[in-house]
Amino acid sequence: MIAYDAFLGAGNSWEELCYRSMFHGGDSDSTGVIAACWFGATYGVNGVPERNYKNVEYQDRLRAVGEKLYTLAFPVDAH
Protein backbone atom coordinates (compact mmCIF):
# COMPACT_ATOMS: atom_id res chain seq x y z
CA MET A 1 0.00 0.00 0.00
CA ILE A 2 2.87 2.38 0.74
CA ALA A 3 4.33 1.81 -2.74
CA TYR A 4 0.99 2.47 -4.41
CA ASP A 5 0.32 5.60 -2.37
CA ALA A 6 3.85 6.83 -3.06
CA PHE A 7 3.46 6.26 -6.79
CA LEU A 8 0.11 8.05 -6.94
CA GLY A 9 1.29 10.92 -4.75
CA ALA A 10 4.56 11.50 -6.57
CA GLY A 11 3.08 12.02 -10.02
CA ASN A 12 5.93 12.18 -12.53
CA SER A 13 8.52 13.33 -9.97
CA TRP A 14 11.26 10.76 -9.38
CA GLU A 15 12.57 12.72 -6.40
CA GLU A 16 9.17 12.80 -4.74
CA LEU A 17 8.72 9.08 -5.42
CA CYS A 18 12.00 8.38 -3.63
CA TYR A 19 10.97 10.44 -0.61
CA ARG A 20 7.58 8.78 -0.37
CA SER A 21 8.57 5.16 -1.07
CA MET A 22 12.21 4.71 -0.08
CA PHE A 23 12.97 7.01 2.82
CA HIS A 24 10.86 5.68 5.68
CA GLY A 25 11.33 3.36 8.62
CA GLY A 26 9.39 0.41 7.24
CA ASP A 27 10.30 -2.13 4.59
CA SER A 28 11.65 0.65 2.39
CA ASP A 29 13.70 -1.49 0.01
CA SER A 30 10.62 -3.44 -1.05
CA THR A 31 8.30 -0.45 -1.30
CA GLY A 32 10.98 1.47 -3.20
CA VAL A 33 11.45 -1.29 -5.77
CA ILE A 34 7.72 -1.75 -6.31
CA ALA A 35 7.06 1.98 -6.67
CA ALA A 36 10.09 2.42 -8.94
CA CYS A 37 8.86 -0.39 -11.22
CA TRP A 38 5.46 1.28 -11.56
CA PHE A 39 7.19 4.60 -12.20
CA GLY A 40 9.38 3.05 -14.90
CA ALA A 41 6.45 1.30 -16.56
CA THR A 42 4.57 4.59 -16.66
CA TYR A 43 7.26 7.18 -17.39
CA GLY A 44 10.31 5.23 -18.55
CA VAL A 45 13.54 6.86 -17.42
CA ASN A 46 12.17 10.37 -17.93
CA GLY A 47 12.92 12.35 -14.81
CA VAL A 48 15.24 9.70 -13.35
CA PRO A 49 18.81 10.97 -12.93
CA GLU A 50 21.12 9.23 -15.41
CA ARG A 51 23.48 8.28 -12.59
CA ASN A 52 20.79 5.89 -11.35
CA TYR A 53 20.89 3.71 -14.46
CA LYS A 54 23.91 4.55 -16.64
CA ASN A 55 26.07 1.70 -15.26
CA VAL A 56 23.44 -1.03 -15.24
CA GLU A 57 24.97 -4.31 -16.36
CA TYR A 58 23.60 -5.58 -19.70
CA GLN A 59 21.87 -2.25 -20.31
CA ASP A 60 21.87 -2.72 -24.10
CA ARG A 61 20.30 -6.16 -23.84
CA LEU A 62 17.69 -4.95 -21.37
CA ARG A 63 16.73 -2.03 -23.61
CA ALA A 64 16.45 -4.36 -26.62
CA VAL A 65 14.19 -6.75 -24.70
CA GLY A 66 12.08 -3.85 -23.45
CA GLU A 67 11.66 -2.48 -26.96
CA LYS A 68 10.72 -5.93 -28.28
CA LEU A 69 8.15 -6.39 -25.49
CA TYR A 70 6.68 -2.98 -26.29
CA THR A 71 6.45 -3.87 -29.98
CA LEU A 72 4.71 -7.14 -29.14
CA ALA A 73 2.29 -5.43 -26.77
CA PHE A 74 1.50 -2.54 -29.12
CA PRO A 75 1.92 -3.80 -32.69
CA VAL A 76 1.65 -1.36 -35.56
CA ASP A 77 -1.44 -2.19 -37.57
CA ALA A 78 -0.30 -3.33 -41.02
CA HIS A 79 -3.65 -2.42 -42.64
What residues form the annotated binding site for Mg(2+)?
A: 27, 29-30
CA–CA gap between residue 38 and residue 12 (Å, rounded): 11
**Whole-angstrom Cα distance, residue 33 to residue 41?**
12
**Alpha carbons 76 and 4: distance in angstroms, whole number:** 31
Binding-site residues, in ranges, read 27, 29-30
